[in-house]
Amino acid sequence: MDNTRPATNALEKGPAPGGLRQSKFALFCKRHKFIVIPIAIMILLLPLLGLLALRTHHAHGMNYTSPVVYPSPQGYGAGNWSAAYERAAAVVANMSLEEMNNVTLGVIDGSNGCVGVSGSAPRYGYPGLCLHDAGNGVRNTDGVNGYASGLHIGASWNATLAYERAQFMGAEFRRKGVNVALGPVVGPIGRIAEGGRNWEAFGADPYLDGILGAQSVIGLQESVIASVKHFVAYEQETNRNPISTNSDTILSTSANLDDQTMHELYLWPFQDLIYAGAGCVMCSYNRVNSTYACENSKSINGLLKGELNFQGFVVSDWVGQHSGIPSADAGLDLAMPTSTYWSERQLEQAVNTGAMNMTRLVDMATRILATFYQFGQDEALPLGVGMPPNLLLPHNYTDAKDAASRPNLLQQAIEGHVLVKNINGALPLSKPKVISIFGNDAIVQTAFNPDGQLFPQSWDFVGLGLPQAMNIASNTPVQDPPQVKNGTLVVGGGSGSNTPAYINSPYDSIQARAYDDDTALFFDFTSTTPNVVASSDASIVIINEYASEVWDRPGLADARSDQLVTNVASACNNTIVVIHNAGIRLVDAWIENPNVTAVLYAHLPGQDAGRALVQILYGDVSPSGRLPYTVAKQASDYGDLLGPCQNAKNSLSPQCDFGEGPNVDYRSFLARNVTPRFAFGEGLTYSSFDYSDLQVSVNATATANDTISAPVYANGTMNGNRNNANIGVGGLQSLFEIAGTVEATLTNAGTVAAAEVAQLYLQIPTTYSNSSNKVTRVLRGFQKVMVQPNTTARVSFNLRTKDLSSWDVVRQAWVVPSGEFEVFIGKSVLNTPLSGSFVT
């Protein structure tokens, strides 16, 4: 029916009140149409501009609310999930509501060492799941390897290594009876330099996290289900959990961010990991735009299950569930380690009373069981079989280690070392006559003979006394992290900590090499003012920088270690500094001292720390790591992104505005025009590389001005994705199509074989930046290649459509902006010898 007709007719029927004014107005309009029409268009557009302004200024304060997105999209067996869904649906169809309710929450088991066990459905042969930490190896048990940490693998820039590491790690989880490995970590991404958990993820860039995280998912899931965490925008430990006082509760901090920042930064790596097939996602402790992440319908229903079409299940971080039916409706599928909200059959009752839709409960149970079948967990060992609840009591020893993992563990350890200074030919060492070694990190802990708490994540063990433990409980930084007691730092603290059967320290391996070379060794592992034997060819100072879950770091360098370096350097003109660092470590106190001749960031190498270090120090291999974060000249150079948001006004609702938008780490330095000490991507080798012959073949078409409507995701429908052929697991499949390639030639111009990490950065045209934050260059490719001296290697980077896209908040779609894309290839974000461009 044409609704406009009667109105038109009515107007035609003689003058209405005000009719004369109307006709004068019409006359005026006719005469001045060149002025009137543009004004009218502007008036019509005003609401839209207002909307845009709201979205843009969202990041700069005021009112942060997370939109609601209901109902929760149902999993339906997209892509290769169909068989698993069929099996799960057949089982769930016969389940009672009570049984369905039971599989959606953790149960206190106590018969094994799993950090969580979920409810079972014995009638159907479903035993529940053993969920266990974490992304750097099996935690808190015996008979397992200590892998290099996420940040160390990030520093390796080696996707194949990440995949193989995860394969070995996944097999260990499976041998221990774990079904869900609680990793890898791609959030926190590293928004703040002092973040306590930055070392668990791969680096402060979404592309790097996405590529290495996806490979980790694929490797792990050959044996177990990977639980990708922490979803989403979980960037600080301070105020991560609610704190109850006598009368009030201080809520978790709210990460306040706009839609573009969400897509281009925090959601970005999750999409790659979902596309890689991740079976589980852990929602985080923080609030996102005022709503807890585990009951945030926008992020779970809207982004994860809608836009990314995630088919697995969402598990809460431990005690991260803060509501009953709202969390279920928002998309939470499994509450761990148990639930006060669901454990009294509340979901069953809610369905019976109509307070909750039954399809949601069916979907929860189906997602969990489908994931169980999808990854062959119906053929797994009994839950937690290799992990006794108490390691200190006699138990059957399950050796989960595979001898075949050894070369890979060593390779991991080697490749995450980043050499940032090397003058006067300090490294590699060549049969030195005398070496002096200093620093508490050179040796393992003086005792590893537990009588209570076994592993480093225990506060007792790392030397945190009661006052500090109280600080931990109130989420404030620990003022005096336990640098000394750790000895050689091979992993950070908390649930991401792993528990190697042995640790090889730097001193162990240097000593073995000293025997081969007939080198005299002097050492002092305790003093900060040691004697330095004058005849030393080199002094090696080995220090560390600790970080842990639960607290953010009080600073980016510890004065005691800095003092040691300065003191040794004042007595030795060939002082080599090695830092085992669980995050960014500043070096301003001594880096310009000419007696400090070499500096290695040794990160967190896992159990083979010493063996790997010696191979690099002595030039058996050239260092091949690159920084996965930016090292500033001084702490203040990080600006607002130095430390966590504090709850300054002691409010009950702490806020953290992500006003920088997507510009964290190197993007922040570029946007603010601050020169770092060491740039993102930087790292030296024992050789030198020339770059040449850039070839850019990208044939992408701009979609920024397309008039066709944006892809319709399942937002607000239960199964809208099912009928959309363009959407598969991971979301819009065309985002992953190759839009072009960029190639370059590397020449090893030095005298030794070395691996170079060629990096591709894009400067995307600003057409579709919705935020007021500057658009900077971004990492969009990397490739690590071993090149023999005087030979060349051709590197080739595939650019996916995703890599060329910006998020358009109005159309709610990824668009390829139109304009000139600048292409940079080089050794770091700031050192790019080749540049070119393409136009869309």
**Between 115 and 204, whose beta carbon lies closer to ligand BGC?**
115
| Identity of the residue, 132 or 603, whose beta carbon is nearer to ligand BGC in the bound complex | 132
* Coil, helix or strand at residue 441: helix
Comparison of 317 and 558: residue with beta carbon closer to ligand BGC:
317
Between CA 187 and CA 605 the distance in angstroms is 20
Separation of alpha carbons 377 and 216, rounded Å: 18
Distance CA 260, CA 807 (A): 6
Indicate the residue among 229 and 401 with the shorter CB distance to ligand BGC.
229
Site string for ligand BGC, 218-237 (x = CB under 6 A): -----------x--------
**What is each CA distance from 297 to 332, 368, 517, in whole angstroms?**
9, 19, 63
Closest by CA position to 729, among listed 210, 312, 220: 312
Considering the complex, state which of residue 136 and residue 715 has its C-beta at the smaller distance from ligand BGC.
136
What is the chain's alpha carbon radius of gyration, rounded to the nearest angstrom? 29
Which letter does DSSP use for residue 433 in this model? S
Interacting residue with ligand BGC among 100, 115, 130, 586 (CB under 6 A): 115
Of 806, 785, 808, nearest in space to 795 by CA: 785
Number of residues that bind ligand BGC (CB under 6 A): 8
Nearer to ligand BGC (CB atom), residue 272 or residue 317: 317
Q: Decide: is 114 part of the binding site for ligand BGC (CB under 6 A).
A: no
Among residues 317, 333, 552, 756, the one that binds ligand BGC under rule CB under 6 A: 317
Q: Tell me if 225 sits within 8 A of 181, measured CB to CB.
A: yes
Residue among 318, 459, 546, 686 that touches ligand BGC (CB under 6 A): 318
Over the window 350 to 389, marking each residue x when it contacts ligand BGC by CB under 6 A and - when it does not, the resulting string is ----------------------------------------
Strand pairing of 243-244 and 287-288? Answer: unpaired
434/424 Cα distance (integer angstroms): 18
Give the residue with the Cβ less far from ligand BGC, 115 or 632. 115
CB of 115 to ligand BGC, least distance (A): 4
Q: Residues 616, 600: contact at Cβ < 8 Å?
A: yes
β-pairing, 727-728 vs 820-826, is unpaired
Task: Determine the Cα–Cα distance for residues 411 and 605; give it in Å rounded to an integer.
Answer: 10
Rounded CA gap, 736 and 546, in Å? 38
Nearer to ligand BGC, 212 or 336 (CB): 336
Place of tokens 């229903």: 301
Given 66, 145, 149, 495, the residue binding ligand BGC (CB under 6 A): 495
Nearest-approach distance from CB 496 to ligand BGC, in angstroms: 7
CB 687, min distance to ligand BGC, A: 39
Based on CB atoms, which residue is closest to ligand BGC, 108 or 648?
108
607 class by beta-carbon count within 10 Å (0-12 exposed, 13-18 middle, 19+ buried): buried
- Check if the beta carbon of residue 121 is closer than 8 Å to that of residue 378: no
CB of 263 to ligand BGC, least distance (A): 24
Q: Which is nearer to ligand BGC, 115 or 413 (CB)?
A: 115
How far is it, in rounded angstroms, from Cα 517 to Cα 702? Answer: 62
Provide the minimum distance between the beta carbon of 134 and ligand BGC in the complex, in angstroms, as a whole number.
6
Which are the contacts of 85, defined by CB distance < 8 A and separation ≥ 6? 75, 76, 77, 311, 366, 370
Neighbouring residues of 252: CB distance < 8 A, sequence distance ≥ 6 = 239, 240, 241, 242, 285, 286, 287, 292, 654
CB closer to ligand BGC, 293 vs 729: 293
- Residue 551 binds to ligand BGC (criterion: CB under 6 A): no
Residue of 583, 402, 579 whose CA lies nearest to 501: 402
Q: Which residues between 695 and 754 bind ligand BGC (CB under 6 A)?
A: none
Pairing of the two strands 520-524 and 434-438: parallel
Residue 133 engages ligand BGC in binding (rule: CB under 6 A) = yes
Burial class (CB in 10 A: 0-12, 13-18, 19+), 762: buried
Cβ nearer to ligand BGC, comparing 184 with 728: 184
Count Cβ atoms below 10 Å from residue 218 Cβ, excluding itself. Answer: 19
Residues 166-205 that bind ligand BGC (CB under 6 A): 182
Residue (of 449, 448, 486, 480) closest to 465 by Cα position: 480
From the CB of 536, what's the least distance to ligand BGC, in Å?
Answer: 44
CA–chain centroid gap for 258, Å, is 19
Burial (Cβ within 10 Å: 0-12, 13-18, ≥19) of residue 114: buried
- Six-digit token string for 462: 């790392």
Least Å from the CB of residue 313 to ligand BGC: 15
Indicate the helix (H) or strand (E) that contains 757: strand 754-763
- Which residue's CB is nearer to ligand BGC, number 455 or number 768? 455
Q: Which of 133, 142, 205, 317 is catalytic?
A: 317
Q: How many CB atoms lie within 10 A of CB 81?
A: 23
Tokens representing residue 403 in the block: 């001898």
Question: For residue 594, with 0-12 CB atoms within 10 Å meaning exposed, 13-18 middle and 19 or more buried, which class applies?
Answer: exposed
Cα separation, 117 vs 338, whole angstroms: 9
DSSP 802-819: GGG-EEETTTTEEE--SS
Contact 165, 200 (CB under 8 A): no
DSSP letter at 126 equals B
333 is catalytic: no
- Work out how close the CB of 300 gets to ligand BGC at its nearest, in angstroms, rounded to a whole number: 17
User: By C-alpha distance, which of 137, 50, 153 is closest to 784?
Assistant: 153
Active site residues: 317
- Residues lying near ligand BGC in the complex (CB under 6 A) are found at 115, 133-134, 182, 229, 317-318, 495
